[in-house]
Amino acid sequence: MAVTSLITNLGNGRCTASKVGLPSGKILCCHSPVSCRKDFSELVDLATQHYLFDRERGFLDPLYVAEELGQLKSAEFSECKACAFALESWSSRERERIWKSIPMWFRLHGWDN
């Protein structure tokens, strides 16, 4: 379910950004929103096929999937740096959300070791 949630979040357009603030304070702008939305739509389709329909390959670890999705549009090779950084940022937030969910998945709340 976590992998499905990741792909759904990716498909909700949370990754494409008109402006992205970088840690350095620099702001990047998306100069081709239509093209980027198309790219992200294709990423969602590919991720759905790869992570949900090709399950026998063993890609069921949501932390791994979040990391891999964040690298699909690398800032080094992407034409749109703003959307590439937005995707990397989204991936980082999703990994953090997943890490925080693990105790709940295994019903570890209330354990004081």
20 forms beta bridges with 28
pLDDT exceeds cutoff 80 at 87? yes
Question: Using CA atoms, how far apart are residues 14 and 43, in angstroms rounded to an integer?
Answer: 13
More confident residue, 98 or 28: 98
Predicted confidence (pLDDT) per residue in 23-82, tens digit: 677 888 887 888 888 888 888 888 888 877 776 555 677 888 888 888 777 767 677 888
110 in a structural domain:
no
60 in a structural domain:
yes
pTM (predicted TM-score) = 0.72
Q: Would you state the pLDDT for residue 13?
A: 55
11 in a structural domain:
yes
100 in a structural domain:
yes
**Residue 96 confidence class, pLDDT cut points 50, 70, 90:** very high
Q: What is the arithmetic mean of pLDDT over 1-28?
A: 70
Query: For residues 95 and 67, is the Cβ–Cβ distance under 8 A?
Result: yes
**Overall domain count for the chain:** 1
Cα angle value 15/72/102 (rounded, 5°) = 70
111 in a structural domain:
no
46 in a structural domain:
yes
113 in a structural domain:
no
Domain range for 11:
2-105
Query: For residues 15 and 86, is the Cβ–Cβ distance under 8 A?
Result: yes
**Residue 7 confidence class, pLDDT cut points 50, 70, 90:** confident
For 2-40, the three-class secondary structure string (H helix, E strand, C coil) is HHHHHHHHHHCCCCCCCEEECCCCCEEECCCHHHHHHHH
